A and B are shown apart, each in its own frame.
Chain A
Amino acid sequence: MKTKKIDIAACLGSYGLTINIGFFRYNIRSSLRTVEQSIETLYSDFELTDYETDSQLVDFHVLVDEVWQLRSVFNRQAKFFLDGLAPFNSLPIQHAPAIIEWGMNWCVSSQLNTHLIIHAAVIEKDGFAAVMPAPPGSGKSTLTASLIQEGWRLLSDELTLIDLNTLQVSPFPRPVSLKNESITVIKNRYPNVIFGPISSDTAKGNVCHIRPPSLSVKNQHVNCPIGWFIFPKYQREAKTEFFEFGKAQALMSVAENSFNYSVLGETGFDVLKNVIGKANCFQFKYSNLDEAIKVFSGLPVPQ
């Protein structure tokens, strides 16, 4: 493995560590110990190289470091930078592992228009992708974290990238982000899953990322057509319900969950119309993960 050969901390602290994720190449710099730990744990299956000696053309130059502000007196602060630009306010330094993950997602969702970007988890089985668009709190990450332990391939936990020409999903297999109780649920269910450092008491509660499965990383360049659009909704004590969702309504819901639907204009509409036209669309309410996994394994095969 290339990982062993290079000194991650030294790269992060100097010219940067280059990571290939999907078709993107990031150059990451940080002198924070937690960021180093996080990358060492979560990205060990990815190809990591030294920016100084290796490839010098990358998509995003990312930096997470401590900054000095008045607030630092009470609570040391860290900030995310994309090539000198700081899109977010500083946050307590102990949130650094979450800051870098959020920031890396932001790079893609704010800069890319060659793909239709949907705020959705996406997983693959038997050559077809299941896209799960849903607002935060609908349990899509917990569902994703479970399904990728049950034979599904992780394409992305946050951003579904649909190629405007091929209409296929381009994988972006980043670590899956879990919040609060979901962390314990997944830890208990799948003791082999590897967790990164926890960021406690963020605006979203406790946040922890899990390492993407090795096979998903290995196949990160294999694109895949969309078979299903599934709109999940976690509801405490709810009975598992799974029913078809009208395509027109599905299109509107996906558009609402898209980052650049309006920027793409007519192209965005045509792309959605085509992929939704070919896919099966469902609404899905659940509280029991075992039943949820069963439903997913019995999904009707797309034409």
Chain B
Amino acid sequence: MTVARSRQITAVASVILLCSMASAAFLLRSMDETFPSATLQQMLYISSPKLLKRLSLGYDGLVADIYWTRTVQYFGGIHSRGGGTYKLLWPLLNIATQLDPHLIPAYEFGETFLLAKPPQGAGDPYRAIELVQYGTQNNPNNWHLYYDLAFIYYDQKDYLHASEAFLRASQLPNAHPFLKIMAAQMAQHGGDLRTARMMWSAMYETTHDKLIQANAAAHLRAIQVNEEVTALEHLVQAYRDRTGHFPETFSEMVSSGMIRGIPLDPLHHSYRLESGGRVVVSNPDDLPFLDKGLPRGYVPSAAPKLSPES
């Protein structure tokens, strides 16, 4: 083979090879963007965990991991597009944990996002309990799972069971000391705001998952807003008592010396006043989980972001 011709063919083939691979990569990305759920149907092609277990031919762990990564991607995908009802969350978590009962992160994730109401989560507390109880059965020495269970009971306002769960957790090896404190707090002051703050701070501190952390932070902000709105509305009432009418804006209250400056919410946006002495937040979409401070007639249009830009 002459050197020249051989080099020619090598050059042409190499160029074609590189261009083709580049095009292939580009096309794959295109497909991704257009069809993020292109393989959604494939995810639950086989939806029975038992069948899947048999088909895994002993590679349960690997298959469990695959389903766990699919769960995270599934959740993340819907979450970034504004949230939804996460219909497949339970089946995916069920499969993953059935294949690998020691997949601890799955239980925590499930507890948080099966519990949360749409559009933040699936809003299915019973499944959440079922999942975490299955977890505690299979991992009896893991205090974190009992902690997760307590959280669910707390959310459902079943303070007795929540306290019991905390107690169980505190008795396990390596249990965090705060668990005993939580058990006591829950037993006596289940419905208190202080308890709520303790719960969510603990969650924020102890979780490794960024999404769960953001969720906890959002809850803490909501608690703060609730407190601030309550306090502000008291002040507004006092203003009314003094002047005989509700203030239109906070500037009025500032000039009358009742408050020092325009009050700001945890996201540094100013609170506003509605008629009738109602204090509301400016951007309710950025502050999920609020009980107070929501404008009249407010309906969440899309899922409020858990981690707002500001």
**Bind each other:** no
A residues adjacent to B (C-beta < 8 A): none
